[in-house]
Amino acid sequence: MDIKFNQNEDHNKLLVSDYLRKFATVKLGGGQKRIEKLHAEGKMTARERIAYLLDKDRDNIEIGAFAGDGMYPEHGGCPSAGVVVKIGYVAGKQCVVVANDATVKAGAWFPITGKKNLRAQEIAMENRLPIIYLVDSAGVYLPMQDEIFPDKEHFGRIFRNNAIMSSMGITQIAAVMGSCVAGGAYLPIMSDEALIVDKTGSIFLAGSYLVKAAIGEEIDNETLGGATTHCEISGVTDYKAKDDKDCLDKIRNILDKIGGYTPTGFDRKPAAAPTLDPMEMYGILPKSRSEQYDMMEIIKRLVDNSEVEEYKSGYGKSIITCYARIDGWAVGIVANQRLVTKTKKGELQFGGVIYSDSADKATRFIANCNQKKIPLVFLQDVTGFMVGSKSEHGGIIKDGAKMVNAVSNSVVPKFTVVIGNSYGAGNYAMCGKAYDPRLIFAWPSAELAVMGGAQAAKVLMQIEATSLKAKGEKVDAEVEKALFEKIKSKYDAQVSPYYAAARLWTDAIIDPIDTRKWISMGIEAANHAPMEKAFNLGVLQV
């Protein structure tokens, strides 16, 4: 291995180490003191509940662990958006599990909490997966109620989705393991079956203090809406559990009895590990986002037996299209090539840029995968579409639109991995969040933005300098440099993968070594859901 490989390896392993450190902090939720307080009340934390519930011998993946990261500092923050979401297995059934984290503002709902809960329900609906809610929440976070209460994608959408999922035949089970108040009380009752933990679980539209203020009635919370009340008097809940573990055991027993599903039929053979060492990806991926590398070398360390069948290998070389298997599943891979390559005419194509011929090739390949019912995997390291008179005259907009059209209308499940750059319209064409990937996740090396930090800072600096000059202020090289550094520093923070993950533009940041697991579990989930419409590109300007 050369010195450059070793430098890349050190850099990327440090990024992963930083990711693991941040993840460890996020897992503490509201902090150790609040965890200890929960334990003193005889309750488990959200993560402990999920760990106990999920099958121990099976993989699981966490959605939105960094949601809320760095957000709401004036309100004390909201680690993991105050809710933990995982896809895993319960009694052998693949499920989505959603657990309120009562260590974060008593499990109250911030705006990002609502967005994350809706994402969990979206995953369950798209893939027809059973969904389990472990409820322990004080309801809407009142200081921010205007950003979580009334709009289409706010709190009320949760209950609308409960009803829609019920009509779709998707199993929903809710366990009330703490507070469940006001509008939130509808969630467990709109689920198929509801459990409640004795003495610690409670459900009511209004607590005892509000009841007294509203109608003058004196009553304690347990009598008002505790487990005995709802299991023996109101009939609101179906099962009473003596403690958290008993409740989770009951959920496992319920899941154990549900029927199977008719697979969609995505092709799978026995899995095989890559023959090339996946750990070498750390050394192949450059430290600098502007450096070139061969994306095929990454692909061969992700796919079974390191074997690919490349489609149109000599054409449109700035995008790689190939068939392969990942953990046994047949996949079609669309990846940005980061090497400078030559066309047959001797023209250079720069790595990470989408050219007309590359867009045309990708469009045809996406159509082929839809025709053959092969899931698509997009590996993003893209700076955008090629610009300039030659590209414009050659119809780059038309060819780019064809690719975006194909991605938009694709009916096979899509999975997006943001490896490096994800800039501008390249993000869209390579199946960014707006294009409904079943899962979208990023490596710690990822950057998401309209354009790179240096380019954006130069543009913004020039605008700012022009504005200062118009006001009669002196703008010399020193002033321009200071403006550039100030703007770039702010912009760099926004292109960070953690900034994107905090806002759920991606579902997760992961160690590159876990990429195969995420794609495999994602395809397995998608295999639960029928493909309900045919692939149709609509009207295209060919």
Asked whether the predicted pLDDT for residue 287 surpasses 80, the reply is: yes
Alpha helices by DSSP H, 373-476: 389-393, 396-409, 424-429, 453-470
User: Closest Cα partner for 537 from 407, 425, 362, 377?
Assistant: 407
Specify whether the CB–CB gap between 310 and 335 falls below 8 A: no
Specify whether the CB–CB gap between 132 and 90 falls below 8 A: yes
Interior angle at CA 521, CA 515 and CA 524, nearest 5: 140
Which bin fits 350, alpha (ψ -120 to 50), beta or left (φ > 0)?
beta
Across residues 30-55, what is the average pLDDT? 97
Residue type present at position 159: F
The confidence score (pLDDT) of residue 393 equals 64
The confidence score (pLDDT) of residue 429 equals 96
| Distance between CA atoms of residues 323 and 429, nearest Å | 19
Higher pLDDT, 139 or 310: 310
Asked whether the predicted pLDDT for residue 478 surpasses 70, the reply is: yes
pLDDT tens profile 326-349: 999 999 999 999 998 877 777 777
Could you tell me the pLDDT band of residue 314, with boundaries at 50, 70 and 90?
Answer: very high
Across residues 137-156, what is the average pLDDT? 89
Dihedral of alpha carbons 85, 132, 54, 521, sign: negative
CB burial of 38-56 (b: ≥16 within 10 Å; e: otherwise) equals beeeebbbbbbbbbebbbe
What is the pTM for the complete model shown? Answer: 0.94
Nearest-Å Rg of the Cα atoms of the chain is 25
The confidence score (pLDDT) of residue 488 equals 80
Q: Which two tokens stand for residue 325?
A: 């298997």
Asked whether the predicted pLDDT for residue 355 surpasses 80, the reply is: yes
Q: Which two tokens stand for residue 485?
A: 């550094």
| Distance between CA atoms of residues 427 and 534, nearest Å | 25
| Distance between CA atoms of residues 175 and 187, nearest Å | 10
Angle, in degrees to the nearest 10, between helices 244-257 and 46-53? 40
Across residues 455-473, what is the average pLDDT? 79
Tell me what the pLDDT averaged over the chain comes to. Answer: 93
* % the chain with pLDDT above 70: 99
Q: How many helices (H) and strands (E) does the chain have?
A: 20, 20
Across residues 151-179, what is the average pLDDT? 94
Could you tell me the pLDDT band of residue 40, with boundaries at 50, 70 and 90?
Answer: very high
pLDDT tens profile 183-202: 778 888 899 999 999 999 99
Could you tell me the pLDDT band of residue 31, with boundaries at 50, 70 and 90?
Answer: very high
User: Closest Cα partner for 382 from 340, 436, 419?
Assistant: 419
End-to-end Cα, the chain, rounded Å: 46
Asked whether the predicted pLDDT for residue 494 surpasses 60, the reply is: yes
Asked whether the predicted pLDDT for residue 541 surpasses 90, the reply is: no
